[in-house]
Amino acid sequence: MTSIKYGSLRVNHLQNSSGLFVGTNVQKGRKSETFINEGFGAIKGKQNKIKGNVGAVEKSF
């Protein structure tokens, strides 16, 4: 088993999928999922054209 020892530890921020575990512990069944749909954006400039553009997002389980 891995042992890590610190003289001190300061946590400024925990994100949604983060966890802070102290002592002897076992994490079971932890799961984090993020899903982001992003758009195509904008087309700028002279004579620029987009035709038949298709976007698809596939979510796998």
pLDDT of residue 9: 83
Provide the residue-wise pLDDT of the chain in tens; the chain has 61 residues.
777 788 888 889 888 777 888 777 787 887 777 777 777 777 888 888 888 877 777 777 6
CB 14 within 8 A of CB 20: yes
Return the beta strands (E) in the chain as ranges. Answer: none
Radius of gyration of the chain (CA): 22
| Structural tokens at position 51 | 């035709």
